Structure 1
């Protein structure tokens, strides 16, 4: 008997550059083109120019022998009478310079469009697996790969501002010390600055102008972005830290009319929503992805699966996620994108977080995403800032936010559909600036201070910006404790800006998207260690206390517990009194069906400028675990009648079960 060994070739419908035993198959979906050439670049030589074959309508393919990982390539097409070099939308690495000189031209595309063949099979994961932490046990820390370590004096210079800097010994020790169990990275896929930024010699520092979705940004690597990012994720997992990627599928760097031709505008113009001949702009960036288009849906799903299977990421935060639910001018939570993810054996198991809006019609969709999604809860941000700033009539709404915003996120769908509770995000003031500036100061952005959000709900407490006045400094510290405690001890998943762990200020800039400089880079020399240590202690206590109450209030168990609202003096709160409240207490006691039956948590809030007597029911052994009035971290007994300080947030547990 003669045995024949077959060579397994990738399907021509698997897009991108697919290595196989004898070479590489390049496949591109370009239904708008009548002729496509593959260019293979060799250092110091003219490119090898190979005609591609249209395998089926729109699918172009070419097999090339002896191609190995690292080979640079791009595509060539004739568009509007000009020869353009275009990037592979499915490329998993890019090598071209991620900037150009506006206006973008065919001659500049020669370098920019270069991609690289990648071999994912060669990386050694060393048997390290993901922590797979439940969403209610997660505290998300949002950070920028470069900004986190660019100025850290104890990170090796070769690693500063890079993927490997995330897992330097210094940073791993910092995560452990500060109870950090999940990093949410601002976009790390390759991106391009917008033309107006390039004209000003600026860049899109945040990374929200995507170029090639599957390719990690090479600027954060010394040699190989692919291997160095994988190494960072592997080592974070080894230390029980999850990684969530902020992804941008609402638009691309091709922008609107007149924007650069990078790929889709020439390959498949139907990728974008159109209004006649014009591109719709529901993102503020010139174009909007049309998720109803089969190729767009396939590209997004394939990209997500790649990040999970090849990089082992633990979840995604979707920028302007309402765009993914668009049916033109309306939002549909049952559209093909959401259904595809819900049934996918890979994507249905990772964390999915929506920024639940865009700027188009029907764009604000908080609480309307499918039940397997968490959502960024801007309502608690606004209410928390307003409450502690002293705005009247806020406490009633804050009480709703404290209890998990169940007017928006039904506890029947917890813990899968939880609010992501935050008081600061990358877009906006840092927490230090929320208590230091009454107005934005975005002059460095070059837009005459017109950019950025105008409704910051901030206060400076007497001086705009930094001060040496000890009284103002102490008020600011207390207000920071109040706002952070409000997020940590509300029901939901806390989201914390890494800059806020250090007490970093952006000098009043609330839209530092183009500030790739010390405005955005964390200043480790000025870290407020007292604040950081207090915050780490509160995070640890939140992790020990809050998840059990979320579990008890989730699903069918949610009605089996006791929740009691009182005035500070112990009297019950009547319906007509809520709108004028400035202080209250809330007690949650776990019901008989819960494993921790009988355990109670008490939260007392005083948003006024006057202290109150706090009277509690007898026969309890309350212990203080958080008191923002003092900043003390010692667990201490609570007297049966104690003063509830002005502008303070108090958390107690009944017993010694912490």
Structure 2
């Protein structure tokens, strides 16, 4: 590959040969007026290259199946636009090679065609469109009337989206940026992926901006950015905690909704994608004309070097263009009918997402867009897996959710994608959209039934413990089919959407007034308990109880079979002041307050969380690769899993159906499926987990032989500070007092 200087020289030579000036400015230069050569229909997007004749330039290719014409629009640094028609059309792809167009060049498209909203045709060449395959985006989306394909202020509401708006949107929308895909990056070339097995994984959901925005150890100019997350101070926290993967809230380029902008707010979470190949420019410290790509890669490499995988939360179910009254930013203007699901009345959109539109994944070009994007993030950006927002919407064939749908079938056979971590949010908002436990092998799922059972148990709202037993032991009722394993269940108590863990024990009602929607937004089904006071309080008893409940919830999560997912800040008592829908709060409500770690109570919570994660890593019995059988596997009758009442007797069917505040779970380390690296049978310690949610202490009889002869206390959540030395030992068969609202972890010592 030629150097940048050589490429500029080549471009200049071409310009001189053709008798025209070459207007170049480093990597951001371009040569206006260059005739468009035929180029190639693949790959899609803008790809800089040096041709076999030594001419440097960029090949542009855009799928626009029903279009009548496509114009490529190039923009200089002052915003001046130069247009060139793409005249080559191959298999519905418009393409052309433009000599002299260098990395850093900003561009967009204008697509011509019929305006007939009643049949779903919404072409409007007055609207500059973002390339769906743009690998970098420069500028931010604002939503004045000019960016709408229809006349937004038409006085008759019932035809508001049917009158075409002829105003130019180019001054108001960001542009795609040509990226040097093959740019040398020595730091990226020696990247080593951690490749943590699913069963060994501990996931940490975080927001790039919110995690780093207030971190005192990160230089101020890097806070809120990919570079900030790559900083040693940020990574040190992750390493101390012991997580194996970060799950990043959306980092695809996204836009802000009009109703938020009008209230002076912004989309903070990012679930409003508009560029599936571009790292969100707002999180870049180094620049937005392609530099964000290298910065993202360096972040991935830094996390990998620390042994941490990178999982992206991706939103392929809908885009930021909303419904028929939404803006025209990209796909809607490229080919509305080709990209979106429409109703029988094609003027309207089928909405299985609650966001106004749904991508029509059954269409080959849409499926190609998604899978091309996924492969790009894996092969060229170093990503290790994906969590699919509203995955049920992607699995719909005609209308119904179909586990043999084209999307799931393509993922299953793709040699790149079937090897990475795949997490489904297994529902959408449409009819039949709730699909927990139904996704096929290869997939893991967010298990909201785990969340609900654990929350209800610790607030004293479970009618019996049948469901809890399944959730603690890997949810075999949901996942023990098709060769799936316990790690198909991603266990969580909180996620970005809803209360933080601290707020879950501090509020019984949402407090979303800051969102400007009259507290109507956000879920009312929080399954929370405020421990006796709503929100802030000076009552030390209430505060102590809240911290104990946090210890109970985190201990339950990290001692359960399956893959635990923590939300950033829960390990140190982060609060959103009762806001359970902080999607638009790009401020202290959402950002992590690192000063919490200076407070003894919250520092102790962090240390307990880190200790529990370390226990998982040390003991394979806490992260089993196969479901428990519950059957005896030795002459002494010892089983891999057993359940006990407070009386020290094994649970009967009647016990499972009765209300219970106390549950004992015995995990045998003598019967763990699989072998270690040397081929030897895996052996581990055995443990007894006692969960007691009653408001008074309980006497618990420790199970005797064959389960154990002695027990040692390892974790006791009734204590603010956990003992560092070995805990008290108790002979089997003796009665111990379990304090109110406590988790005990006891190790079998004989």
Question: Residue in 1 aligned with 2:343?
Answer: 275
Please identify, of 450-459 and 335-344, the stretch whose mean Cα deviation from structure 2 is larger: 335-344
Question: Residue in 2 aligned with 1:185?
Answer: 248
Alignment equivalent of 1:610, drawn from 696, 710, 714: 696
Question: Residue in 1 aligned with 2:231?
Answer: 168
Question: Residue in 2 aligned with 1:529?
Answer: 603
SS at match of 1:408: helix
Q: Distance in 2 between matches of 1:556 and 1:73?
A: 62
Deviation, 1:431, is 0.4
Deviation, 1:165, is 0.7
Q: Distance in 2 between matches of 1:52 and 1:569?
A: 79
- 1:114 and 2:175 are equivalent in the alignment: yes
Q: Distance in 2 between matches of 1:453 and 1:566?
A: 35
Change (3 A) 1:592 1:505: closer
Q: Distance in 1 between matches of 2:449 and 2:388?
A: 18
Deviation, 1:639, is 1.0
- 2:562–2:623: 8 Å Cα contact kept in structure 1? no
Alignment equivalent of 1:540, drawn from 586, 599, 614: 614
Q: Distance in 1 between matches of 2:78 and 2:268?
A: 32
Deviation, 1:466, is 1.6
SS at match of 2:565: strand
SS at match of 1:376: strand
Q: Distance in 2 between matches of 1:550 and 1:213?
A: 35
Question: Residue in 2 aligned with 1:553?
Answer: 627
Question: Residue in 2 aligned with 1:47?
Answer: 81
Change (3 A) 1:429 1:399: same
Q: Distance in 2 between matches of 1:588 and 1:534?
A: 21
Deviation, 1:220, is 0.8
Deviation, 1:109, is 3.4
- 1:389 and 2:459 are equivalent in the alignment: yes
Deviation, 1:411, is 6.7
Question: Residue in 2 aligned with 1:570?
Answer: 648
- 1:601 and 2:664 are equivalent in the alignment: no
Please identify, of 497-506 and 609-618, the stretch whose mean Cα deviation from structure 2 is larger: 609-618
Please identify, of 76-85 and 341-350, the stretch whose mean Cα deviation from structure 2 is larger: 76-85
**Counterparts of 1:415-434 in structure 2 under 5 Å?**
415=485, 418-434=488-504
TM-superposition CA deviations, 1:328-355 (whole Å, max 9, x none): 3311112111111111111111100000
Q: Distance in 2 between matches of 1:559 and 1:419?
A: 25
Q: Distance in 2 between matches of 1:353 and 1:152?
A: 29
Q: Distance in 2 between matches of 1:230 and 1:559?
A: 49
Please identify, of 330-339 and 245-254, the stretch whose mean Cα deviation from structure 2 is larger: 330-339
Question: Residue in 2 aligned with 1:35?
Answer: 69
Change (3 A) 1:593 1:375: closer
- 1:591 and 2:671 are equivalent in the alignment: yes
Q: Distance in 2 between matches of 1:489 and 1:19?
A: 51
Change (3 A) 1:154 1:215: same
Q: Distance in 1 between matches of 2:472 and 2:538?
A: 34
**Counterparts of 1:346-357 in structure 2 under 5 Å?**
346-357=416-427
Please identify, of 539-548 and 294-303, the stretch whose mean Cα deviation from structure 2 is larger: 539-548
Q: Distance in 1 between matches of 2:94 and 2:85?
A: 10
**Counterparts of 1:206-285 in structure 2 under 5 Å?**
206-222=269-285, 223=287, 224-269=291-336, 270-276=338-344, 277=346, 278-285=348-355
Change (3 A) 1:466 1:586: same
TM-superposition CA deviations, 1:379-401 (whole Å, max 9, x none): 11111111111114242211110
Alignment equivalent of 1:499, drawn from 569, 586, 591: 569
Change (3 A) 1:94 1:305: same
- 1:478 and 2:478 are equivalent in the alignment: no
Question: Residue in 2 aligned with 1:97?
Answer: 140
Please identify, of 84-93 and 95-104, the stretch whose mean Cα deviation from structure 2 is larger: 95-104
TM-superposition CA deviations, 1:274-303 (whole Å, max 9, x none): 112110111110001111011110000000
- 1:334 and 2:404 are equivalent in the alignment: yes
TM-score (norm 2): 0.83
**Counterparts of 1:263-342 in structure 2 under 5 Å?**
263-269=330-336, 270-276=338-344, 277=346, 278-342=348-412
**Counterparts of 1:433-448 in structure 2 under 5 Å?**
433-448=503-518
Change (3 A) 1:599 1:532: closer
Please identify, of 601-610 and 366-375, the stretch whose mean Cα deviation from structure 2 is larger: 601-610
Deviation, 1:138, is 0.9
- 2:110–2:125: 8 Å Cα contact kept in structure 1? no
Q: Note the residue ranges of structure 2 that are not aligned, 5 or more in a row.
A: 1-37, 51-55, 116-123, 149-166, 675-680
Q: Alpha carbon RMSD of aligned pairs, Å?
A: 2.2
TM-superposition CA deviations, 1:594-624 (whole Å, max 9, x none): 5234742211121222322222214433222
Question: Residue in 1 aligned with 2:16?
Answer: none
Q: Distance in 1 between matches of 2:524 and 2:75?
A: 49
Deviation, 1:569, is 1.8
- 2:474–2:486: 8 Å Cα contact kept in structure 1? no
Change (3 A) 1:412 1:259: closer
- 1:650 and 2:744 are equivalent in the alignment: yes
Change (3 A) 1:93 1:71: same
Alignment equivalent of 2:711, drawn from 605, 622, 638: 622
TM-superposition CA deviations, 1:510-534 (whole Å, max 9, x none): 0000001110011112332121111
Change (3 A) 1:422 1:11: same
Deviation, 1:82, is 5.4
Question: Residue in 1 aligned with 2:25?
Answer: none
Question: Residue in 1 aligned with 2:529?
Answer: 459
Counting matched residue pairs gives 648
SS at match of 2:222: coil
Question: Residue in 1 aligned with 2:205?
Answer: 142
Q: Distance in 2 between matches of 1:116 and 1:257?
A: 28
Deviation, 1:652, is 2.2
Question: Residue in 2 aligned with 1:5?
Answer: none
Q: Distance in 2 between matches of 1:438 and 1:266?
A: 45
Change (3 A) 1:593 1:201: closer
Change (3 A) 1:398 1:62: same
- 1:371–1:417: 8 Å Cα contact kept in structure 2? no
Please identify, of 444-453 and 619-628, the stretch whose mean Cα deviation from structure 2 is larger: 619-628
- 1:515 and 2:585 are equivalent in the alignment: yes
Change (3 A) 1:418 1:49: same
Deviation, 1:209, is 0.5
Deviation, 1:10, is 7.6
Please identify, of 109-118 and 477-486, the stretch whose mean Cα deviation from structure 2 is larger: 109-118
Please identify, of 534-543 and 278-287, the stretch whose mean Cα deviation from structure 2 is larger: 534-543
Structure label with greater radius of gyration:
2
SS at match of 1:413: coil
TM-score (norm 1): 0.94
Deviation, 1:552, is 4.8
